[in-house]
Amino acid sequence: MSVPAAYLAVVLIWSTTPLGIVWSSETVSPTLAVLLRMVIAVVPGWLILRLFKVELPWHRQAITLYCYSGLGIFGGMLFSYLAASYISSGVMSLIFGLAPILSGVLSKYVLSDEPLSKAKKVALAVALLGLTCVCYDKLSFGSQAYIGVICILLGVFFFSLSGVLVKSITVKINPMATTVGALIIAIPLFALTWILADGTLPYEQWSQRSIISIVYLGLMGSLVGFIAYFYVLQKLKASTVALITMMTPVIALWFGLVLNDEHISVNLIIGALFIISGLGIYQWGEWLFNRIRKSSTTG
């Protein structure tokens, strides 16, 4: 696969994932939909490991890595699916776009990284202002939308925390093996959650759109998307990869509008602009502030 094709695949998969979550949960309970998605992903993933003879280690450090990665899969995905019943796919994508900024904040406390710079503090403030605009938008939200907002924020938190914890592990394992190992850890948790929350299997009620969405998310969202993302991460600069998190919320909003007739209000657009601007400042603000400071001192 070429780098541009892999990059485009990541953008499209990440942009369509929120809508896929909404559709898959239309006639299938959220806990069962996410469980089926992960089972569909782990089977071909394991076969790929066997086919290419990629080792799936189970020593202590490897298990720790799988647990940390599985935390992001379980917490991030479970709460995203629960949120799908209350908020639109576009709003889900927008709020999930805050993950890079939250990861930076968590790194300061979990990994004892350097304090946030002025540029990153500004980015955090701008992004939070955008989040406030999105949450305040009563036209886009129903009466119980706050439940969806809380759920997706919890999903972002667990996803970001997982990424930070993974950085604390020095062991090097093939990304595909890490994904399969994390899925093996997470699937029993998804199964237990489904049993406790629902435990039924009313397949006669499942719509074709929900089934197709689950299969798509299992194969593309949880398998091909991860492979393409890790491939792009190895081949391109981090700043170029970071553009993905800025593009996907916009594209996801468009998909939600065109394919699912989701309402997009002025407040939602304003909030989206603030969130995307916050992401831009977080990634390139330090460089921009240094250029401005340099220009003022030489001028």
Kindly report the CA angle at 45 between 54 and 210, in degrees rounded to 5? 170
Within a domain: 194: yes
Within a domain: 214: yes
Average pLDDT for the chain: 86
Within a domain: 144: yes
Give the pLDDT mean for 249-265. 87
In the chain, the amino acid numbered 16 is: T
> Are 210 and 27 within 8 A, CB to CB?
yes
Within a domain: 297: no
Within a domain: 82: yes
pLDDT for 119: 83
Within a domain: 189: yes
Structural domain for 163, as ranges: 3-118+140-237
Query: Which residues, 6+ apart, have CB-to-CB distance to 129 below 8 Å?
Result: 274, 278
Within a domain: 37: yes
Please spell the DSSP secondary structure of the chain, one letter per residue.
Answer: --HHHHHHHHHHHHHHHHHHHHHHTTTS-HHHHHHHHHHHHHHHHHHHHHHTT-----SHHHHHHHHHHHHHHHHHHHHHHHHTTTS-HHHHHHHHTTHHHHHHHHHHHHS-PPPPPHHHHHHHHHHHHHHHHHHH-TTTS-TTHHHHHHHHHHHHHHHHHHHHHHHT------HHHHHHHHHHHHHHHHHHHHHHHT----GGG--HHHHHHHHHIIIIIIIIHHHHHHHHHHHS-HHHHHHHHHHHHHHHHHHHHHHH-----HHHHHHHHHHHHHHHHHHHHHHHHHHHHHHHHH-
Q: Which range is most confident: 32-46, 173-187, 262-276, 278-292?
A: 32-46
pLDDT for 187: 96
> Are 267 and 130 within 8 A, CB to CB?
no
Instruction: Count up the domains in the chain and report the number.
Output: 1
Within a domain: 175: yes
Residue identified by tokens 């992001």 is 72
pLDDT for 233: 67
- Of residues 155 and 262, the one with the higher pLDDT is 155
If pLDDT is split at 50, 70 and 90, which confidence band does 298 have? low
Spatial CA neighbour of 281 closest among 103, 100, 112: 100
Q: Which range is most confident: 49-58, 89-98, 266-275?
A: 49-58
| Residue 1 confidence (pLDDT) above 80 | no
pLDDT in tens, 105-141: 888 777 777 777 888 888 889 988 888 888 776 545 5
pLDDT for 268: 83
> Are 161 and 71 within 8 A, CB to CB?
yes
Angle in degrees, 0-180, between the axes of helices 60-83 and 89-96, rounded to the nearest 10: 140
User: For 235, phi and psi rounded to 5 degrees?
Assistant: -100, -25
| Residue 277 confidence (pLDDT) above 80 | yes
In the chain, the amino acid numbered 211 is: I
